[in-house]
Chain A
Amino acid sequence: MTRQIRLGVFTVAGCGLAAFLLWGLAGLPGFGHYHWPYGNVLNQVAPNERHTSNVVGAVVFDYRGFDTLGEEFILFSAVVGVSLLLRKDREEAAPADRVRSDPIMATGAVAAALLFVLGLWVVAFGYVTPGGGFQGGVVLAGAFLLVYLTGGYREYHALTPHSPVEMAEAIGAGAFAILGFAGIAYAGSYLGNFLGIGDAGSLYSGGSIPLLNWATAVEVCAAMILLFSEFLKTYVIPTDDWRPELGPR
């Protein structure tokens, strides 16, 4: 199919799509005129039922926890897919870019440490204030990526050895699924909330939400690190004294 034919087909299909989009969107209530019951009900009951102040967190890890389980495994299988797709590229030669400026490395080390603490905070208070395992996990992984950006692949690799990170990802995803079975045993339903709901507004609140929150954070952080690592590995050159697979020798 040539470019012209393809664009021609797209123009016809695009006009049809645009018409359907406009038709569908015009049927929605006006912006701000929300009148569906589900969100209102959750906003009413979640703070009392679960003692979480962040209702989004309660939806993700409790009321719709089963969806989040699926989401975790979407991420998990994507990481497996990426590492399979990039597996053979390991030994390809490409320029190894190393930061040599001391001020940049020092600033980067401080910034990475601060980012790591910020990530822990976003995870820990995810069900009290805005945040949560997904968001915090990505921030935590960002701290490791910052080590690569302001240091080099060597430092990054030393901080994120492959097998422990892989194990952490599996443990995070597995813990979420197993906590679901604990819900069957103690609360009567898969991913049921089986712990005491604690005090609203404190870290001890939300029942099993904090556990699922941390399991997610571990899984997301490890998954993002594995994604970065797989892409970075296609980009580093093995040198005489050091190889990504073996470390210094």
Chain B
Amino acid sequence: MSYLPYALAAWLFVVGLYGVVSSRNLIHLAVCLTVMQSGTYVLLLAIGYKNGGAAPIFRPTRHKAVDPVVQALTLTDIVVSVTVVALILALALGAHKESGSVNPDEIADFSG
């Protein structure tokens, strides 16, 4: 019994979260958020894995396969990640236009 893939998922999530908290650049923050979300991909795929299971694609023969549901969920997860990053980058462009900076601290100073 191995818990290593779960540990990897947790590590990606936490290291991404640290990046988000300590970020001094909104673009960097968006990348950190995708690292965080990568942790959820790893977790979903790890939950669905079955020892000796192959991809759930049955052609031409039937075989032992991993869970297709979590793979479909991972697909949704990736789409959500893309849309969130696009929106954050658009907001970062707007913030840069308004305040001339992508550093959250400086932007806060600017508005306050």
Q: Please give the residue numbers on chain A whose beta carbons come within 8 Å of chain B beta carbons, in ascending order.
A: 3, 6-7, 10, 14, 17-18, 21-22, 25-26, 28, 30-34, 36, 38-40, 42-43, 46-47, 53-56, 58-60, 64, 67-68, 71, 74-75, 78-79, 81-82, 85-86, 89, 92, 128-130, 132, 134-135, 200-201, 227, 230-231, 234
Contact of A34 among B66, B80, B89, B105 (CB under 8 A): B66
Chain B residue nearest to A200 (CB atoms) is: B59
Give complex CA distance A36, B70 in Å: 11
Q: Are A56 and B68 interface neighbours, CB within 8 A? A: yes
Please indicate the chain B residues that have their CB under 8 angstroms from the CB of A230 in the complex.
Answer: 90
Give complex CA distance A181, B14 in Å: 43
Q: Are A34 and B79 interface neighbours, CB within 8 A? A: no
Please indicate the chain A residues that have their CB under 8 angstroms from the CB of B69 in the complex.
Answer: 38-39, 42, 59, 64
Please indicate the chain A residues that have their CB under 8 angstroms from the CB of B86 in the complex.
Answer: 78-79, 82, 227
- The contact string, 1 if C-beta is below 8 Å from chain A, for chain B 31-50, is 00000000000000011111
Give complex CA distance A135, B75 in Å: 9
Within the complex, the shortest CB–CB distance from B76 to chain A, in Å, comes to: 5
Please indicate the chain B residues that have their CB under 8 angstroms from the CB of A30 in the complex.
Answer: 1-3
Which size class do B's interface residues fall under? 35 or more
Max count, chain A CB within 10 A of own CB: residue among B10, B69, B75, B105: B69
Give complex CA distance A40, B64 in Å: 9
Q: Please give the residue numbers on chain B whose beta carbons come within 8 Å of chain A beta carbons, in ascending order.
A: 1-7, 9-10, 13-14, 17-18, 21-22, 46-51, 53, 55-60, 62, 65-72, 75-76, 78-80, 82-84, 86-87, 89-91, 93-94, 97, 105
Contact of A55 among B10, B18, B58, B60 (CB under 8 A): B58
Q: Are A14 and B5 interface neighbours, CB within 8 A? A: no
Chain A residue nearest to B105 (CB atoms) is: A3
Q: Are A75 and B87 interface neighbours, CB within 8 A? A: no
Chain A residue nearest to B5 (CB atoms) is: A31
CB within 8 Å for A31 and B89 given contacts A14-B17, A25-B6, A129-B57: no
Contacts beyond the supplied A34-B50, A43-B56, A56-B57: 11 A-B pairs with Cβ under 8 Å: A14-B14, A17-B14, A21-B10, A28-B3, A34-B66, A55-B68, A56-B56, A74-B80, A81-B90, A85-B87, A89-B97
Chain A residue nearest to B24 (CB atoms) is: A3
Contact of A21 among B1, B13, B18 (CB under 8 A): B13
Please indicate the chain A residues that have their CB under 8 angstroms from the CB of B51 in the complex.
Answer: 32-34
Please indicate the chain A residues that have their CB under 8 angstroms from the CB of B79 in the complex.
Answer: 71, 74-75, 134
Chain A residue nearest to B92 (CB atoms) is: A85
Instruction: Give 14 CB contacts A-B under 8 Å.
Output: A14-B17, A21-B10, A31-B1, A32-B50, A54-B56, A58-B68, A71-B79, A74-B83, A75-B83, A82-B86, A89-B93, A89-B97, A130-B57, A201-B60
